[in-house]
Amino acid sequence: MATDISEQPAAYGRLVAPAAAARIAEVAAVVAARRPRYVMLTARGTSDHAALYGGYLSEIRLGLPAGLGSPSTVTLFGARADYSQALVIGVSQSGESPDLCELVQAARASGATTVAITNEPDSPLATIAELVIHLDAGHERALPATKTYTTELLALLMLIEGVRAGDGRLPAEEAAFLATLPELAAEVLAGDEPERVASRLRFVDNLVVTGRAYGYPTAREAAHKIMETSYVPTLAYSGADLLHGPLAVTAPRVPVLAVVGAGPGGAAMREVVAKLSTRDTEVTVVSPTEVAGTHGRFPVPAVDERYSPLLDILPLQRLTLALAVNRGNDPDAPLGITKVTPTR
């Protein structure tokens, strides 16, 4: 898992390289020409959180309604919705889950523009979808997905920004930022704060992870990874939802990890952290700046919030790894999971 995490800057570099960027631009140009009216994303597990990020991008950057499709409507109930004006994106590391494949196949049959985002270009999902984006993340050694998750995020960003541009090609400013992404990722991975926080949290019984807008998929993914590798019950909430009632579960015995970015979502999260500090809750933030009332910080660059999920998850992956090791678990082979989980 440590090796997989360390390879993410290089994986970013491969995806933003001219040849790979051009292939994604071709897909984006086809999508843009068809002018979809809405976007549906479908995924399972870790990829579900990448799909959630894609939904935020679609609504904020394209102005298109977006949602997460439920494969069970097709596989268990035999429903056949009309996707004729939709962009349907299947996101899957392996591209093998039967229910995702069936939903994408049904959507394509009803007239949708279908895109597969996967690390396996010869997988069933890639065969079924009309258009394919290959992550080229390389072989992932550990069962918990790390570099395939972050390259899914980057692929979605490049696709949606390409659609927004109209001709598939990223604007110069966007391309210039993405060219710096491998270096920024390497800088974030160089810190040692995750190991210190993991040592402090070693004996916790529960955790809460929270974020808003672009930070919410990061919170969901971090909670998923902690539960997967350390077996610590971990709740993930939108910062807004946390204030609507579940705030009561936070207490000195239930530490909180909060994603506090540099934009509107981060500003809203500062209000949440302020509320948490009145409850003597131990709060550690992922943030480019210090946040009042917190007990620790994973420093990340101050970037536009739509880019922040590409960097914010990195220290949380390292926290996950260190926490599992500190608790005597094997993060490379968590109990009860396999790399490919076929579901219907």
**Whole-angstrom Cα distance, residue 193 to residue 196?**
5
**Whole-angstrom Cα distance, residue 159 to residue 299?**
28
- Per the domain annotation, does 255 fall within a domain? yes
User: Is residue 139 domain-shared with residue 218, that is, in the same domain?
Assistant: no
- Per the domain annotation, does 335 fall within a domain? no
pLDDT, greater one: 191 or 343: 191
User: Is residue 42 domain-shared with residue 153, that is, in the same domain?
Assistant: yes
C-beta neighbour count of 313 within 10 angstroms: 27
Number of folded domains that form the chain: 2
- Per the domain annotation, does 81 fall within a domain? yes
> Does the pLDDT of residue 344 top 70, yes or no?
no
Domain harbouring 204, CATH code: 3.40.50.10490
User: Is residue 20 domain-shared with residue 136, that is, in the same domain?
Assistant: yes
User: Is residue 203 domain-shared with residue 58, that is, in the same domain?
Assistant: no
Q: Using 50, 70 and 90 to split pLDDT, how confident is the model at 243?
A: confident
User: Is residue 222 domain-shared with residue 272, that is, in the same domain?
Assistant: yes
- Per the domain annotation, does 336 fall within a domain? no
User: Is residue 116 domain-shared with residue 227, that is, in the same domain?
Assistant: no
- pLDDT computed for residue 278 by the predictor: 87
Q: Using 50, 70 and 90 to split pLDDT, how confident is the model at 341?
A: low
Please say whether the beta carbons of 252 and 277 come within 8 A. Answer: no
Q: Using 50, 70 and 90 to split pLDDT, how confident is the model at 232?
A: very high
* DSSP reduced 3-state for 192: coil
- The model's pLDDT over 210-219, given as tens digits with 9 standing for 90+, comes to 999 999 999 9
- Per the domain annotation, does 116 fall within a domain? yes
Domain boundary among 131, 162, 186: 186
User: Is residue 316 domain-shared with residue 215, that is, in the same domain?
Assistant: yes
Domain boundary among 165, 186, 207: 186
pTM to 2 decimal places: 0.96
* Domain carrying residue 11: 2-186
Block residue for tokens 């995490």: 5
- The model's pLDDT over 53-80, given as tens digits with 9 standing for 90+, comes to 999 999 999 999 999 998 999 989 999 9
User: Is residue 225 domain-shared with residue 156, that is, in the same domain?
Assistant: no
- The model's pLDDT over 153-201, given as tens digits with 9 standing for 90+, comes to 999 999 999 999 999 999 999 999 999 999 999 999 998 899 999 999 9
- pLDDT computed for residue 255 by the predictor: 94
Query: What does the block give as tokens for 278?
Result: 């009145």
Domain boundary among 151, 168, 186: 186
Q: Which helix (H) or strand (E) holds 36?
A: none
- Which residues of the chain form beta strands (DSSP E)? 38-43, 66-68, 86-92, 113-118, 131-134, 207-211, 234-238, 256-259, 283-287, 296-299
User: Is residue 102 domain-shared with residue 138, that is, in the same domain?
Assistant: yes
Instruction: Return the amino acid letter for 89.
Output: I
User: Is residue 233 domain-shared with residue 312, that is, in the same domain?
Assistant: yes
- pLDDT computed for residue 336 by the predictor: 73
- The model's pLDDT over 119-137, given as tens digits with 9 standing for 90+, comes to 999 999 999 999 999 999 9
**Whole-angstrom Cα distance, residue 8 to residue 303?**
18
User: Is residue 41 domain-shared with residue 129, that is, in the same domain?
Assistant: yes
User: Is residue 163 domain-shared with residue 203, that is, in the same domain?
Assistant: no
